[in-house]
Structure 1
Amino acid sequence: MQITDADRRLLRHMLAAPGLSVADLAERAGLTSATCWRRIERLREGGVLRGEHAVIDWHALGWEVEVSLRFTLDKTDPRAFDAFIAAARNVSEVIEIQSFLGSTDMRLQVIARDMAHYQEIYRNKILTLPHIAELDALMLISTIKSGAELPL
């Protein structure tokens, strides 16, 4: 899909202030409301805009611990990845699942209310996941940069 300068302006404003109305976006991007709406629809149809969602601050809801778990799977079973992913999806505290090429096969991002809760999740839910050969945990201390900003 071909992106114009007006599309880039529109996307920059949508990233900077995701809750703006079409009228406000149009004004900030220097477009009419009708043109802005048509461009947004074209960006959706072209797959550039895949949806809108709320960004929730887990810490504000009392989830104080965030851990990145890196797994190497026992690949002697050809269904190891599928079984691991299916089981990991059922752990409600897993907020992200990623697969990789390299020495790490999978990464899970896990949140917990506190360390005691994390220990419970780790023992009862994480260690029971199938086909784990190796596991490494990285506890988040601080987030320096986060977001999906693009150099538009």
Structure 2
Amino acid sequence: MTEVDAIDLALLRAMQTDASRSAASLARETGLSQPAVWRRIKRLRDADVLRGAQVRLDREKLGFGVTVFLGVKLATKGRVSLEDFERAVRAIPEVQTVEHVLGLYDYRLRVVARDISDFERVLRRRIMTLPGAGQVEANVLLSEERLPGPL
């Protein structure tokens, strides 16, 4: 485990909110010099505490107005490997995330589609034909609020 002090946590919180902030901005917020901020960020990257930077896309503006969370229970555990299922589901461009979970379902998928009929097409032609796919439960996202991370 990497040693992280209060200043590191302040940097991580600020970067989690907006990873594109400049070192000068981060330095002003934390009371450090720019070189000190860069050294800390480099140390956190080298320790794999910081892994890349992400851009959040506005799915609606890109024409994807529907987000659905799918719970997928595998029908044939043992006959189809988890790797086969995961490899096949990763090939579906509408699937944004694949989570292997413990509970009622084996997997939780985040699927985007243009509209409900487009989602139905993805479900019938792609999801339900996955190796080992069995029971599926769909939950349509009504609204989403991004909360700050745990730091």
* TM-score (norm. length: structure 1): 0.91
Hey, what's the Cα distance between the residues in 1 that align with 2:79 and 2:102?
16
Match of 2:20 in 1: 19
Q: Is the 8 A contact 1:71 1:133 kept in 2?
A: yes
Quote the Cα distance in structure 1 between the aligned partners of 2:92 and 2:124: 12
Question: Hey, what does 2:105 align to over in structure 1?
Answer: 104
Shift of 1:113: 0.7
Cα deviation digits, residues 41-86 of structure 1 (max 9, x gap): 0111111101112111211211101111111112443543111111
Count of residues in Structure 1 that have an aligned counterpart in Structure 2: 150
**Deviation at 1:32?**
0.3
Matching of residues 1-152 of structure 1 within 5 Å: 1-143=2-144, 145-147=145-147, 149-151=149-151
The structural deviation recorded for 1:16 is: 2.8
Unpaired segments of 5 or more residues in structure 1?
none
CA RMSD of aligned residues (A): 1.5
Residues 80 and 132 of structure 2 are in contact (CA less than 8 Å); yes or no, is this contact kept in structure 1?
A: no
Structure-2 separation of matches of 1:48 and 1:76 = 35
Structure 2: gaps (5+ residues):
none
Letter in 2 for 1:71: V
Structure 1 residue ranges (4+ consecutive) displaced by more than 6 angstroms after TM superposition:
none
The answer as to whether partners of 2:80 and 2:131 remain within 8 angstroms in 1 is no
Whole-Å Cα distance in 2 between the matches of residues 111 and 32 of structure 1?
43
Quote the Cα distance in structure 2 between the aligned partners of 1:50 and 1:58. 23
